[in-house]
């Protein structure tokens, strides 16, 4: 959960693969390799950033500051020191060494995750035993000060949406009434909002939200953003230190008055917006049950920045462009606003579809079946107190549903491809006004089947191969279509592997990926003694 909180990754398989903790590997993978103090290694190839995690679990007493020293053996080895790592630890170590020895520029982070309420690292974010400059000087492959993630961070992520009401008083020259769509009411505005007011109306101290006379910046700097106002945001919190966030801090520190120009701003939706003009040049805007649907990362960064004691002198120069739309409780309209306002930035297809009506409906249905349906990054802790029987991501479900349509070769590829409009509509869209392209009631049974194949593939020694999982599931569906009792996952996986072995020796195979060939499905069905593949 902590790794996901930092990296934004929600694939359980990738997260599990990143863990090299000795105790975990001994229990789960029957490996006794010494981890050298680093418990997880995660590499983000898209942003050239690697993360080294150190876990601390406390039964009773809080951890001591100097205990972060235990991670130094691994770090010193990366500096060229001796190492006796073996197994998975050695593989991860060598991979990081390879990255550092390459000509590509890599960012490196050291993060300590603890169930304490207080960080094991110093207030500055660095180990108490080394000052920030000394730490980075000792380990030059790290490009930022180490930091802690503690229990409070997890609890904050677990807060669910609530009715959020707030009041804004603002100069009339900073308000523009706005209407673009006939579905949208006349109570919509583009406003220039001060940082102070933005943090006040989103504060976890709800008594401040309607107090337009409140002006104590010192008190406000000690509050936090209430995550319930971000529940409709297409992404969970991705962590405070990615490249984008660094640029935000640089602008706030060096050019605070230009933040309004450089930043895309924030989009809010509210069930009801009530406005009135008073004293000739003032506007009062009341928001009922509002949500931030675009700009959640921005506001979290602004909150973090304002907590820095050195930031207070510039905070009154910071303004933010805020778009406010009244939806009248129309959830589809709110979802459309979230989707399209995010489509202009670097948000992937999966994230954009996370607020789609179909995804929300599936989430609610499966939740009542005690199935944890992860529809967006950072979604792990949404209902931490529920004892889920099963967990599946929307990417996994999309692959399973597309496989049932006879297209496992497409489902095996990039998950993003399944969430492109045409494919997505074929999977999750509406067949007609009364019927969807998927059967909601049959999803629990499909999920059980998918997870049984996933577990069987792992047990067979093929790791998390999507080819084995989805083609095995494909065989199961074809067996049902032929009115045969589906074979066990183990039996179907053996058939898949047999065809892979047969076709891997063929020089015409696609880079040793025979399952991508047009004739793979027919070969598979021939071996299983079934008819033509379902179109």
- Find the range with the poorest average confidence among 247-256, 259-268, 512-521: 512-521
Question: Can you give the pLDDT at residue 250?
Answer: 83
The sign of the CA dihedral 113, 116, 118, 120 is negative
User: Does 180 score more than 60 pLDDT?
Assistant: no
Other Cβ atoms within 10 Å of 207 Cβ, number: 8
Closest listed residue to residue 78, CA positions, set 64, 90, 66, 62:
90
Helices 443-459/466-481 angle, 10° precision: 130
Pairing of strands 189-194, 175-177: antiparallel
What letters, b where the CB count within 10 A reaches 16 and e where it falls short, cover 419-451? Answer: beeebbebbbeeeeeeeebbeeeebbebbebbb
Give, as one character, the DSSP assignment of residue 24. H
Mean pLDDT throughout 353-376?
Answer: 90
Containing H/E element for 41? strand 40-44
Q: What share of the chain is helix, strand, coil (3-state, %, to 5)?
A: 45, 15, 40
Give the pLDDT confidence of 382-406 residue by residue, as tens digits.
445 678 899 999 999 999 999 999 8
Q: Report the alpha-carbon distance of residue 111 to residue 282 in Å, rounded.
A: 47
Question: Mean pLDDT, to the nearest integer, of 48-53?
Answer: 90
Q: What is the pTM (predicted TM-score) of this model?
A: 0.47
Nearest to 220 by CA among 295, 292, 151, 318: 318
pLDDT for position 266: 92
pLDDT at 469: 94
- Reading phi first (left if > 0) and then psi (alpha if -120 to 50, else beta), residue 341 is in alpha
Q: Given a cut of 80, is residue 147 above it in pLDDT?
A: no
Question: How many other C-beta atoms lie within 10 A of the C-beta of residue 452?
Answer: 17
Distance CA 419, CA 71 (A): 40
Residue whose C-alpha is closest to residue 150's, from 1, 294, 312, 46: 1
Pairwise pLDDT comparison (393 vs 63), residue with the higher score: 393
Span 17-30, mean pLDDT? 82
Q: What is the mean pLDDT of residues 35-52?
A: 87
% of the chain surpassing 70 pLDDT:
77
Top-confidence residue, 272 or 511: 272
pLDDT recorded at residue 152: 54
d(CA 353, CA 420): 9
Tell me the pairing of strands 266-278 and 282-294: antiparallel
| Higher pLDDT, residue 88 or 56 | 88
Average pLDDT over the chain reads 79
- The CA-CA-CA angle for residues 234, 238, 241, to 5°, reads 145
Torsion, Cα 322 327 331 335, to 10 degrees, reads -30
Distance from C-alpha of 533 to C-alpha of 523, rounded to nearest angstrom = 10
How far are the Cα atoms of 53, 152, 252, 260 from residue 265, in angstroms, in the given order?
33, 28, 14, 7
pLDDT class for 448, splitting at 50, 70, 90?
Answer: very high
Task: Judge whether 355 and 234 are in contact, CB under 8 Å.
Answer: yes
Q: Select the more confidently predicted residue: 41 or 510.
A: 41
- For residues 380 and 32, the model is more confident at 32
pLDDT at 179 over 80: no
Residue 339 has pLDDT above 80, yes or no: no
Rounded Cα–Cα distance for residues 106 and 97 (Å): 11
- pLDDT interval class at 432 (50, 70, 90): confident
Q: Categorize the per-residue pLDDT at 107 as very low, low, confident or very high, splitting at 50, 70 and 90.
A: confident
Q: What mean pLDDT is predicted for residues 198-210?
A: 90
CA 188 to chain centre: 30
Q: Residue range 111-129: average pLDDT?
A: 54
Is residue 480 scored above 70 in pLDDT? yes
CA 401, 405, 410, 416 torsion-angle sign: negative
Asked whether the beta carbons of 247 and 240 are under 8 A apart, the reply is no
Inter-residue contact 418 to 410 (CB < 8 Å): yes
Of the pLDDT bands very low, low, confident and very high (cuts 50, 70, 90), residue 323 is very high
**Tens-digit pLDDT profile for residues 417-426:** 888 878 899 9
DSSP secondary structure, 256-324, as one string: GGGHHHHS--EEEEEEEEEEEEETTTEEEEEEEEEEEEE-HHHHHHHHHHHTSGGGTTTGGG-EEEEEE
Read off the DSSP letter of residue 65: G
Which one, of 473, 487, 349, lies nearest residue 405 by Cα?
A: 473
| Cα 91 from Cα 3, distance rounded (Å) | 19
Cite the beta strand spans of 349-456 per DSSP E.
371-374, 390-393
């Amino acid at each position: 959960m902590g790794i996901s909180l930092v990296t934004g990754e929600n694939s359980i398989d990738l997260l599990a693969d990143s863990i090299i903790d000795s105790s975990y590997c001994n229990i789960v993978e029957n490996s006794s390799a010494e981890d050298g103090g680093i418990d997880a290694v995660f590499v983000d190839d898209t942003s050239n950033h690697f993360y080294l995690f150190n876990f601390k679990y406390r039964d009773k007493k809080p951890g001591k500051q100097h205990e972060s020293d235990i991670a130094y053996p691994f770090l010193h080895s990366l500096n060229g020191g001796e190492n006796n790592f073996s197994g998975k630890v050695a593989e991860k170590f060598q991979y990081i060494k390879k990255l550092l020895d390459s000509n590509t520029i890599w960012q490196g982070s050291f993060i300590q995750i603890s169930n304490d309420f207080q960080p094991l690292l110093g207030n500055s974010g660095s180990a108490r035993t080394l000052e920030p400059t000394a730490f980075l000087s000792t380990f030059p492959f790290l490009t930022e000060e180490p930091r802690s993630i503690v229990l409070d961070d997890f609890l904050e992520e677990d807060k669910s949406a609530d009715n959020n009401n707030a009041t804004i008083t603002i100069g009339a020259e900073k308000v523009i009434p706005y209407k673009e769509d006939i579905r949208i009411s006349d109570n919509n505005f583009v406003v220039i909002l001060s940082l102070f007011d933005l943090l006040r109306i989103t504060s976890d101290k709800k008594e401040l939200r309607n107090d337009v006379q409140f002006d104590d910046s010192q008190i406000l700097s000690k509050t936090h953003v209430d995550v319930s106002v971000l529940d409709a945001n297409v992404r969970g919190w991705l962590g405070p230190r990615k490249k984008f966030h660094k640029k935000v801090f640089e602008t706030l520190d060096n050019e605070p008055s230009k933040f309004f120009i450089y930043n895309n701003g924030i989009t809010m939706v509210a069930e009801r917006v009530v406005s009135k003009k008073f004293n000739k040049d003032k506007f009062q805007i009341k928001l009922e049950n509002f949500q931030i649907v675009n700009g959640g990362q921005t506001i979290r960064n602004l909150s973090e920045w304002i907590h820095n004691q050195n930031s207070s002198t510039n905070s009154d120069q910071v303004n933010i462009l805020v778009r406010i739309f009244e939806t009248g409780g129309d959830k589809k309209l709110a979802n459309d606003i979230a989707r399209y306002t995010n489509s202009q930035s670097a948000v992937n297809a999966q994230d954009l579809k996370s607020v789609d009506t179909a995804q929300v409906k599936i989430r609610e249905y499966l939740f009542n079946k005690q199935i944890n349906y992860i529809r967006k990054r950072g979604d792990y802790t949404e209902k931490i107190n529920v004892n889920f029987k099963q967990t599946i991501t929307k990417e996994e479900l999309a692959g399973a549903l597309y496989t049932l349509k006879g297209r496992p070769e497409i489902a095996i590829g990039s998950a993003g491809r399944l969430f492109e409009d045409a494919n997505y509509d074929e999977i999750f869209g509406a067949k007609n006004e009364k019927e969807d392209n998927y059967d909601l009631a049959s999803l629990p049974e499909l999920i059980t089947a998918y997870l049984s194949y996933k577990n069987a593939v792992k047990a067979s020694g093929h790791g998390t191969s999507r080819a084995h999982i989805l083609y095995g599931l494909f065989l199961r569906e074809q067996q049902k279509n032929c009115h045969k009792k589906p074979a066990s996952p183990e039996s179907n996986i053996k058939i898949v592997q047999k065809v892979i072995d047969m076709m891997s020796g063929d020089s015409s195979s696609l880079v040793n990926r025979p399952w991508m060939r047009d004739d793979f499905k027919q070969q598979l069905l021939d071996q299983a003694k079934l008819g033509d593949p379902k179109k």
